[in-house]
Every structure is written in C-alpha cells, then in structure tokens.
Amino acid sequence: MKYFLYWGCSLEASGANFLVSLRPACEALGMEFEEIDDWNCCGASISYVGGNDLAIKVLNARNLALAEAAGGFDIVAPCSSCYIQMNKVNHEIQQDPELASTVNEILAEGGLSYSGNIKVRHLLDVLYHDIGVKTIADHVVYPLDGIKVAGYVGCQSVRPYGEYDSVENPVIQDKILTALGAEAAYFPNKMRCCGSGIFLTEMEHCARLVADILNDAIGHGAELVSTVCPMCAMNLENYQGRINKLLGTEFDIPIVYLTQLMAVAFGMDPKTDAALNYNIIPPEKVLNRALH
Amino acid sequence: MKNEKQYNQSFADEVFRRVDFGQEIKKCMQCGVCAASCPLSLDMDYSPRKIFAMIRAGKREEVLSSEALLLCTSCYACKVRCPRGIPVVDVMHGLAHYALSQGYVPRKNTAIFAGEFWSQIYKKGRIDEKDLSRRYFFADGFIPGIRNSLELADIGISMLLHKRMKVLPERSIKGIGALRKMLDKADEVRKGGAVS
C-alpha cells in the first residue's frame, strides 16, 4: 500500500533513529512511502505561543493541500506532534465549512487549495489496521524471546479523538510487541505525559514526569522502553542522565523506537536498518539475546 | 441573604471576543476534571479550572500573568476528559497567545523558546533543532549563552556523536515566500476577531 510519509523536522535530527529504522521495517511489510514535496513544519506543541490558531491551521492545511494535489494517499505521520496537529486541523476543516473557506482563501495566496479529502493516520494505526499483527509476526526471524518491553504510548499518539485505539488504555503497541516475540510489560503509566516540548525550558517541573514513567516501567520488570514519538524518546533517553542528577535517581534503561525493535526482529542489520548505534543508552545489552 | 458581590464582566467579554476558543469557557461547570487530569496542575499557581473561574470573576491581571498559561505540556488529557466537551488545552493555548500579545510573560524561558520556534517557522518553514537551542541559550547575551551551553553540553555532544543532530544548517523550504504570505494573511484575518 502506498502512503505519504510526513516525517517532520525532528525525525531528521533528534529522532533520526526513528526514520532510519521505520523505512526498512515498514517497507518489508509491503508499505510504500512517498514524501510530500516541500512540506513545512506542523507547528508542534508550542507554536501557539507565537502563532494564532488560524496561522497554525494554515501551516497544516498547506501540507494537506500539497498532499491532495500530489495523489491524495493517506498521510502517515510517525511523530506524535505532527500527527496530532495535522489530524486535528484536518478534522476541523472537514467539519466546519466556514473554516474551510477561510483557510482556502488564505491557501490561495500560494496558489493552493484543500478540499478535505485526505486521511491523516498514526503509524500504529496503519501497522495494526492495514498490515495486521499476523503479517508482522510472519516477518519475524529473530523473535524477541524473553525480553520484557514497556510500550510507552505517550499523550499525543491517540488523543484527542481515539480513532484507532483507546484514549485511556491503548493496546495496539503492546500487541505489536507481542507479535515480535517480546513480552509487553504491564504499564499503567503508558499514557502519562513526559513533558513534551517544554521539557528543556521547564526541566525542574518535567523531570518528575519522566521519573514517574520510568519508575513504573522498571517497577513492572521492563528492561527496555519502546516508543513511537520523537519527543518522548528525547525526554526519556537524552535527558535521563540530567534527571538522575536533578532527582538523585539511577535510571539507566534503554529507550528504543518500536520500528527499531521491528527491524531487529525481522533480522535486518542492527546498524544500517535498526539504527541501534544512534541510541545514547545502548540497547544492545538487552537486545543481544535476540540479535544474530 | 442577598448576594452583594458584583463581578466585573468586561474581562470575560474580552476573552470571549478576542481569545481563540475563548467562548468555550461559557460551558465550564467547574467540576475540576481538567485539573485532576493535568500532569503539571500541581506545579501551577492556578489550575485550568481556577483560571476559567477567575476569567468569569474578572481577574484580568492574575489570569494573564498566570504561570499556568505556559506550563501546558499539550498532553490533551483535559480535552479528552472534559464532560462538557470543552477543548481545555485549546483554550489555554489561546490564553497564552493572548497574554503574550498583551505584553505579559508568564514563564520567561518557555516564552523565549516558543518565540524562537515560531520565528524559525516564519523564516524557514521548518525547525532546525540545534539552531533553535542555540538561539534559546544565547537569548540573554553572550556570557549567559556560554554558561547555558556548557550546562547542557554533554547532551548536545552525545547527540552529535550518535547522529541525532543535523550538522548542516536547515535550508528554507522552496515555497517559503508563499508560506509567509499565507501566515501574514492569517494574522490579518484573525485581527477581525477570534475564529473558533
């Protein structure tokens, strides 16, 4: 199946291991990706400070308009911020004809228009509903046997609409982990917020949020945390040492993208496909049990 | 007993008229589910529920200078759970944008970072993470900039070594001129009044 892949700004930098592993892992499952030519930033979670609501809607409508003109395939947005922003704006435009006409008037400044016919989807949605856990399990060469993983979903992956999984107790990531042969840890904090885009600027408040998430994962026996959001990965992994300093904790748990685990289980190259060398806290010490 | 307390309605009217999603506050029944769902409500001076009550009570100064406006992590738990269907997170974002436009700076660091974030979108159409951090660190001048950079240098270096930082500067998108025209027009349209 063919999709537009709207990977966004983070996946070219701090979330690079997500994009590197996503392509081979998903393409092995028969997914085909095309870039939205000349896409712009979605605004992420803090654009509202500088931009008014209409300006943020226009940012996302421009990407939707470009995608519609270039073929209209479903858009897969692997970054949760990209997903929530684009999906939200898409719904608002589809449901409010007055807004749609205002937005189109503005898009016309750049010779674009959007009629509302695109679907914006999360990677988990596509993996579960279009591909299915059976196909995923069929591709497993090296099952992640005996590895206990906490599937961290985060806030923005299923909210606010809960279109493809529960907003309070999502289960799809755990089902995919199980299909890969791993054991999905019981993890009640899987939807607790990590601090998102304000972690860097409000660290003294947000450190506790990440500690609550990691304590819950480790407390339930997880050796790895898997995620599908570049912001979650950044806050849980890159700031782990800083959180230890601030709170006197001793966290040392690897944080990986679900697609990295897929690439490992599918028997792909640990570096060029699974991008394990991009991780700052090395996941190999746990994954070596499955690696060839 | 007769209630002698008189509330000043003018601030509530101002919010309804000029803040994105401001009208939604009319639906609030003060149940507090938003406050209970908010990951940082305990760190805020006033929870979202209190902010809504204070708007109705006319407390303009306290609301527009409240730290709560810039402590929102955008987790959307409040919007998902509000039994009255208020998009609480969108109202808080609207209030934050309005407060800054009125000259209030509830949380300096987040305000600077977010301001740089928006200006990068306007300049290039995309975000350059390393440039964004650099501008944030150096916002108060060279000496504080060096101090801030050294403070988090270990994180930056580990990202660079693990290919998690783009080495080359981000280039503008091809359609940046058109994008700016659209954003300017959105500003102009918005000045006519809140859209939602």
Q: Tens of pLDDT along B92-125? A: 999 999 999 999 999 999 999 999 999 999 999 9
**pLDDT for residue B175 is more than 80:** yes
* CA gap A192, A213 in Å, rounded: 7
Minimal Cβ distance to B118: which of A51, A57, A99: A51
B156 touching A, CB under 8 A?
no
The pLDDT, as a whole number, for residue B8 is: 81
Cβ–Cβ gap A48/B162 under 8 Å: no
* CA gap B34, B37 in Å, rounded: 5
Give the mean pLDDT of A45-53.
Answer: 94
Residues of A in contact with B117 (CB under 8 A): 44, 46-47, 49-50
* CA gap B99, B70 in Å, rounded: 10
* CA gap A150, A222 in Å, rounded: 6
Give the mean pLDDT of B60-82.
Answer: 97
**Cβ proximity of B182 and A110 under 8 Å:** yes
> In chain B, what are the domains?
10-101 (1.10.1060.10), 109-188 (no CATH)
Residues of B in contact with A274 (CB under 8 A): none
> Which of B42, B74, B108, B170 would best serve as a mutation to test chain A binding (most A beta carbons within 10 A)?
B74
A119 touching B, CB under 8 A?
no
Q: Which residue of A has its CA nearest to B96?
A: A49
What percent of chain A has a predicted confidence (pLDDT) above 70? 100
Q: Which residue of A has its CA nearest to B92?
A: A48
Asked if omega into A160 is within 30° of 0 (cis), the reply is: yes
Residues of B in contact with A167 (CB under 8 A): 80
More confidently predicted of B170 and A88: A88
B113 touching A, CB under 8 A?
yes
Q: How far is B110 from chain A (nearest CA, A)?
A: 5
A47 touching B, CB under 8 A?
yes
Residues of B in contact with A107 (CB under 8 A): 182
Cβ–Cβ gap B125/A51 under 8 Å: no
**pLDDT for residue A282 is more than 80:** yes
| Six token digits for residue A220 | 């339930």
**pLDDT for residue A191 is more than 80:** yes
**Cβ proximity of B142 and B135 under 8 Å:** no
Residue (of A149, A234, A139) closest to A185 by Cα position: A149
B157 touching A, CB under 8 A?
no
- If pLDDT is split at 50, 70 and 90, which confidence band does B3 have? low
The pLDDT, as a whole number, for residue A292 is: 54
> In chain A, what are the domains?
2-123 (1.20.1050.140), 136-287 (3.40.50.11810)
B109 touching A, CB under 8 A?
yes
Minimal Cβ distance to A50: which of B74, B109, B119: B119
Cβ–Cβ gap A192/B39 under 8 Å: yes
B70 touching A, CB under 8 A?
yes
| Six token digits for residue B149 | 């950079």
Cβ–Cβ gap A53/B94 under 8 Å: yes
Cβ–Cβ gap B109/A201 under 8 Å: yes
**pLDDT for residue A75 is more than 60:** yes
Per the DSSP assignment, residues forming a β-bridge with B195 are: none
A203 touching B, CB under 8 A?
no
- If pLDDT is split at 50, 70 and 90, which confidence band does B81 have? very high
Q: How far is B2 from chain A (nearest CA, A)?
A: 42
Q: How far is B127 from chain A (nearest CA, A)?
A: 6
**Helix A16-27 and helix A258-265, axial crossing angle in degrees, nearest 10:** 40
* CA gap B124, A46 in Å, rounded: 17
Cβ–Cβ gap B179/A62 under 8 Å: yes
**Cβ proximity of B117 and A46 under 8 Å:** yes
Contacts of A15 (CB under 8 A, 6+ apart): A79, A230, A233, A234, A257, B164
**pLDDT for residue A220 is more than 60:** yes
The pLDDT, as a whole number, for residue B193 is: 55
**Cβ proximity of B75 and A159 under 8 Å:** yes
Give the mean pLDDT of A89-103.
Answer: 97
**pLDDT for residue A184 is more than 70:** yes
Give the mean pLDDT of A118-144.
Answer: 98
* CA gap B62, B57 in Å, rounded: 11
Please tell me the total number of residues recorded for chain A in this structure: 292
DSSP string, B147-164: HHHHHTHHHHHHHHHTT-
Give the mean pLDDT of B7-23.
Answer: 94
Cβ–Cβ gap B178/A49 under 8 Å: no
**Cβ proximity of A289 and A147 under 8 Å:** yes
- If pLDDT is split at 50, 70 and 90, which confidence band does A290 have? confident
Q: Which residue of B has its CA nearest to A210?
A: B39
B150 touching A, CB under 8 A?
no
Q: Which residue of B has its CA nearest to A46?
A: B114
Q: CA Rg, chain A, in Å? A: 19
More confidently predicted of A116 and B9: A116
Cβ–Cβ gap A41/B121 under 8 Å: yes
**pLDDT for residue B4 is more than 80:** no
Phi then psi dihedrals of residue A100, to 5 deg? -55, -40
Cβ–Cβ gap A160/B76 under 8 Å: yes
* CA gap A164, A173 in Å, rounded: 12
Does an H or E element contain A121, and which? Answer: strand A120-121
* CA gap B194, B63 in Å, rounded: 19
**Cβ proximity of A248 and A233 under 8 Å:** no
Cβ–Cβ gap B121/A51 under 8 Å: yes
Q: Which of residues 4-33 of A touch B (CB under 8 A)?
A: 9-10, 12-17
Phi then psi dihedrals of residue B183, to 5 deg? -65, -35
* CA gap A97, A201 in Å, rounded: 38
Contacts of A12 (CB under 8 A, 6+ apart): A19, B166
